[in-house]
Structure 1
Amino acid sequence: MLRTATHSGPVVTVTFDDGATTRFHAIWLRDNALDPETRAPGNGQRLITIGDIPADTTVGNTRVVGGDLEVTFQPEGKTVIFPAGWLADHAYDRDRPKDAGRTAPGLTTWDSALAPPGADWNAVHADPRAKRGWLAAVAEFGFARLTGGPVEPEALLRVADLFGYVRETNYGRYFEVRTEVNPTNLAYTGLGLQAHTDNPYRDPVPGLQILYCLENSAEGGDSIVVDGFRAAQRLRAENPEGFALLAGHPARFEYSGSDGVCLRSRRPMIELAPDGELVAVRFNNRSSAPFVDIPFDRMEAYYQAYRQFAAIIDDPAMGVAFKLEPGESFIVDNTRVLHARTGYSGAGSRWLQGCYADRDGLLSTLAALELAQPEAAE
């Protein structure tokens, strides 16, 4: 609820019941007006362009009505109500963090001490609350397990159906992860794999990866996940200059292991938003192409930082390890969490299927569940 509302030219100042005060510009309020002539009632999409708003927009009058803000804009003479809760949620008059390498609100970074978050297959299919909790774990930690699923090929596609759609690639709708005689990718061998993000040679990279276990009687073959954001934060703490080098210069990645396929991208190993927030980590030694975008006098320092980042990622204190049983799966945020596996022997068998999906589908489904179940957050 609002206590007071005043205006001076193009600026509105409001005070909430708790004493907090914040300011809004007239042009911002007019652009974000919630009336049905400005935004479609059904989907909330804006019905006007910025050019439809007078350049000399200012505030003619403000008052508090029922605890909410009423504003009359001039020269249009248009009056709009802004709910107090909406204003609080969208306040921008505040000090902003400036430290490079910080994480977005709601993310929790972790190391080997984390107990792997997870949920039960039947529960997430039957109970929206369980599904919400599972998706929320992926959003917060970047990965989560799913146990108790059917042991049948293509069951992983039903995992993707819980929140979105499979992203098809040159590997198909899904791919097999098991030993092959003439593999086109090292993932199809029994070799151990260093922690990595998948497909850094794509632009954009697949946002999510699902791995689903159908057989796992071989010795070894444990799955390992590493929080790339925690690794980047460690690098920043231990070597700020090295962190700046990996974030400030593009690396290059390439894959051309199949006929008719030559994928290339140019992106930093540690990607930051313009305001310094961590956006993504790309790390895959197998798919790295020659680095040619680092100045000559910084190349040695870049490689030193690259080596240190790799050592942090390989540190056992960073990884969470677990062995998937048939019918179990896990999902990783491929823009953040690296995954690895220990090597496994030829005795027994190990058969996983994998597929990709996009983060926006998961985050959209989660947001819709949160709107439908607001009491679950209390």
Structure 2
Amino acid sequence: MTDVTLSPDGDIITLDHGGATARFHAIWLRDNAWDPATRAPGNGQRLIALRDIDVGVHISAARLAGGQLQLTFAPEAREIAYDPDWLMAHRYDRDEVRAPGALPDGAEAWDAGLMENVPTGDFSAVRDHAEARRAWLAQIARYGFAKLTGGPVRDGALFDVVDLFGHVRPTNYGAKFEVRTEVNPTNLAYTGLGLQAHTDNPYRDPVPTVQVLYCLESTAEGGENMVVDGFAAARRLRTENPEWFDVLSGHCARFEYAGEAGVRLQSRRPMIELDPDGILRAVRFNNRSAAAITDVPFDVLPSYYAAYRRLGEIIDDPAMEVSFRLEPGESFLVDNTRVLHARKGYSGSGTRWFQGCYADMDGVRSTLAALETPRQEAAE
């Protein structure tokens, strides 16, 4: 059953459809019209600006015809058809109360229990088959990371991984960087030391939102890769101590990198970043790149450091960790705004050669959405 009710002033319609009820304002409906005069048929981009909609826009008539909702807008006297399913899928009339620290839509928090089923795809299948690629990208969107096995063992093979969803984002490290032991390295990542779980490049603005690490050689003992869900860590901190969560999300930290000539990267962002509606947006945690904290009030600083210390303890907790060893031709990708990665120490004997590069999550999400559209259309 579908039914529509128009308010006396024409400012609001109430739509009953598919067992749900939602209200919509006239200005929102006019702005989101899909008629050819409002949206380009080829790409869906708007052909009008908000200034082109009368400030006094209202609905003079509403009716259902042929499964469509027909609305007449005044004062322009234009009738526009709407798909009730589309409207209900995009309704904003909800009674949701989201506590700070809510997960983004589609994300699932995880801990060490995920080690029993590490998100993984096969390189050849993901490259050659749309459904395998969709499933692999869906795991990244859900968990913030995934492995890829069975790839080629050659210099630059990590670019083949990025080609599956997007484009490489070059940095001062180049289009790619080498991760193996060096003498007098410019970055601790290039030593055999174990590293605390961290997000990469927090000193950049904007930060690269994807990191790919690709294994080319691995005969050294140790060096297992580890990942930790930063969103799960932040939510655990909030459960334990909401005040500490608030202090880390309410004040900015500072990060910097000046490890090579001609480079001095700096940023100012909170360690736990929230959207205005409280949804987790990003976690930045990297002790090696942390600069002096100068944006926390004097009286709040002790609480800030207590919260900072506790977040680090949660991140270090083995119960939060998923670890795995990569063999040549294997790689993994992380959402660098969410998942912290680490490496256990490895011995000086044998070899260990990884290559890394950066890309962005908009490519992951775009490719995934494009692959999911045919599935949705087939289901309809």
Q: TM-score range by the shorter chain?
A: over 0.9
Partner of 2:17: 16
Counterpart mapping for 1:31-180 below 5 A:
31-114=31-114, 115-180=117-182
Partner of 2:322: 320
- The CA distance in 2 between the partners of 1:184 and 1:148, in whole Å, is 31
- The CA distance in 1 between the partners of 2:92 and 2:68, in whole Å, is 18
Partner amino acid, structure 2, of 1:88: M
Quick one: structure 1 residues 278 and 201, their matched pair in 2 at CA, closer, same or farther if it must change by over 3 Å?
same
Partner amino acid, structure 1, of 2:28: W
Kept after mapping to 2: 8 A contact 1:271/1:281 = yes
Partner amino acid, structure 2, of 1:87: L
- The CA distance in 2 between the partners of 1:143 and 1:111, in whole Å, is 13
Partner of 1:354: 356
SS of the counterpart of 2:365? Answer: helix
Alpha-carbon displacement from aligned partner over 1:196-255 (angstroms, at most 9, x marks no partner): 000000011000000000001001100000000000000000111110000000000000
What percent identity do the matched residue pairs reach? Answer: 62
The counterpart of 2:341, out of the listed 325, 339, 342, is: 339
Partner amino acid, structure 1, of 2:260: S
Partner of 2:264: 262
- The CA distance in 1 between the partners of 2:250 and 2:7, in whole Å, is 42
Give the CA deviation at 1:369. 0.2
Kept after mapping to 1: 8 A contact 2:273/2:280 = yes
Partner amino acid, structure 2, of 1:191: L
Kept after mapping to 2: 8 A contact 1:209/1:357 = yes
Kept after mapping to 1: 8 A contact 2:211/2:333 = yes
TM-score by length of 2: 0.97
- What is the alpha-carbon root mean square deviation over aligned residues? 1.2
- The CA distance in 2 between the partners of 1:283 and 1:258, in whole Å, is 22
Kept after mapping to 2: 8 A contact 1:202/1:264 = yes
Kept after mapping to 1: 8 A contact 2:213/2:354 = yes
TM-score by length of 1: 0.98
Partner amino acid, structure 2, of 1:90: H
Partner amino acid, structure 1, of 2:165: F
The counterpart of 1:237, out of the listed 236, 239, 248, is: 239
Give the CA deviation at 1:16. 1.2
- The CA distance in 2 between the partners of 1:25 and 1:300, in whole Å, is 47
- The CA distance in 2 between the partners of 1:331 and 1:131, in whole Å, is 14
- The CA distance in 2 between the partners of 1:142 and 1:66, in whole Å, is 42
- The CA distance in 1 between the partners of 2:63 and 2:142, in whole Å, is 40
Give the CA deviation at 1:96. 2.5
SS of the counterpart of 1:324? Answer: coil
- The CA distance in 1 between the partners of 2:360 and 2:289, in whole Å, is 21
Kept after mapping to 1: 8 A contact 2:4/2:13 = no
- The CA distance in 1 between the partners of 2:215 and 2:379, in whole Å, is 32
Gaps of 5+ in 1: none
Partner of 1:297: 299
- The CA distance in 1 between the partners of 2:358 and 2:17, in whole Å, is 45
Alpha-carbon displacement from aligned partner over 1:98-143 (angstroms, at most 9, x marks no partner): 3000101210010001021001011001110000000000000000
Give the CA deviation at 1:17. 4.3
Partner amino acid, structure 2, of 1:338: L
Kept after mapping to 2: 8 A contact 1:6/1:63 = no
- The CA distance in 2 between the partners of 1:235 and 1:117, in whole Å, is 25
Quick one: structure 1 residues 370 and 17, their matched pair in 2 at CA, closer, same or farther if it must change by over 3 Å?
closer
Partner of 1:279: 281
- The CA distance in 1 between the partners of 2:172 and 2:222, in whole Å, is 29
SS of the counterpart of 2:296? Answer: coil
Partner amino acid, structure 2, of 1:125: R
Count how many residue pairs are aligned between Structure 1 and Structure 2.
377
Quick one: structure 1 residues 319 and 216, their matched pair in 2 at CA, closer, same or farther if it must change by over 3 Å?
same
- The CA distance in 1 between the partners of 2:131 and 2:97, in whole Å, is 33
- The CA distance in 2 between the partners of 1:8 and 1:132, in whole Å, is 47
Partner amino acid, structure 1, of 2:140: V
Kept after mapping to 2: 8 A contact 1:164/1:358 = yes
- The CA distance in 2 between the partners of 1:376 and 1:275, in whole Å, is 34
Give the CA deviation at 1:68. 1.9
- Give the stretch that moved more between structures: 1-10 or 27-36: 1-10
Give the CA deviation at 1:2. 2.4
Quick one: structure 1 residues 98 and 256, their matched pair in 2 at CA, closer, same or farther if it must change by over 3 Å?
same
Partner amino acid, structure 2, of 1:34: W
Partner amino acid, structure 2, of 1:205: V
Give the CA deviation at 1:66. 1.6
SS of the counterpart of 1:8? Answer: coil
Quick one: structure 1 residues 8 and 90, their matched pair in 2 at CA, closer, same or farther if it must change by over 3 Å?
farther
Kept after mapping to 2: 8 A contact 1:213/1:324 = yes
Partner amino acid, structure 1, of 2:126: V
Gaps of 5+ in 2: none
